[in-house]
Amino acid sequence: MNNSLLWRATKAVFVREVRSELRSRQALNAVALFAVCSIVAVSIGLGPLNRSAELPLIHAALVWIVLLFAAFTALARVFVVEEEQRTAAALRLAAPAHAVYLGKLLFNLVLLVALTLLVAVLAVVLLRMQVKAPTAFAVMLAAGSLGLVTGTTLIAAIIARASSRSTLFAVLSFPLLIPLLVTAVRGTALALAGAGWDRCLAPIQTLLAYAVAMFVTSLFLFATVWED
């Protein structure tokens, strides 16, 4: 496969995803509402929290839990929709498997980054989350989102072919995301508490290594999932 050809096909798949999303705005609406609802619910439930040594950890855990469950509702859609609208076969003919995977991965990444931004802003506003090391915090969220997307996109492709999809997606993804989640929560807590780069670097490296490992494995395995 020629590289520029693969890139062009990837771009085409990505643009198609974005267009169809902008037409219906299903995923965007669902995810944004989910994020707002859950942050508001947490904010109402907790009320104003006292400053304490454990507050950064609590905030980090809340942010990642909201992100995780929003991801569970949104990230499977890219493949499920192909099966529901019976367009998978056409896509299979139109684009090489790797281009399909990369295009959908990019789309999921854009969706999750938008969601992360929204959740972070909401958390600062509604939960009074203080970010003492903003750059480290942003890098941590970006690396975590990257891991979340690379870890779940292949699973989304798998469950699109199974029955009882929505529950299965969470069931299959959750165990694989536990290492990511634990690292991301601890790292984000460090960044919130204002730790220096020397302490924030280790979790960021772990998150990036996780993302790379998941990405490479997905590239190897995706063709097998997509074939029919």
Task: Choose one: 45-53, 100-108, 120-128, 206-214; the region binding another protein (CB under 8 A).
Answer: 206-214
CA-closest candidate to residue 147, choices 112, 114, 123? 112
Beta-carbon neighbour count of residue 35 at 10 Å?
25
Tell me the closest approach of the beta carbon of residue 171 to another protein, in angstroms: 5
Task: Choose one: 29-37, 83-91, 137-145, 147-155; the region binding another protein (CB under 8 A).
Answer: 147-155
Residue from 158, 184, 189, 200 in contact with another protein (CB under 8 A): 158
* Number of chain residues interacting with another protein (CB under 8 A): 32
> In this complex, which beta carbon is closest to another protein, that of residue 89 or of residue 182?
182
Length of the chain in residues, anyone? 228
Residue from 90, 121, 178, 201 in contact with another protein (CB under 8 A): 178
- Interatomic CA distance for residues 202 and 205, integer angstroms: 5
Q: Any residues with CB less than 8 A from the CB of 68 and at least 6 apart, and which?
A: 148, 177, 181
Tell me the closest approach of the beta carbon of residue 147 to another protein, in angstroms: 9
CA-closest candidate to residue 98, choices 20, 3, 21? 3
176 binds another protein (CB under 8 A): yes
Supply the DSSP string of 70-111, one letter for each residue.
Answer: HHHHHTTHHHHHHHHTT-HHHHHHHS-HHHHHHHHHHHHHHH
Give the binding site for another protein (CB under 8 A): 151, 154-155, 158-159, 161-164, 168, 171-172, 174-176, 178-180, 182-183, 206, 209-210, 213-214, 217-218, 221, 224-225, 227-228
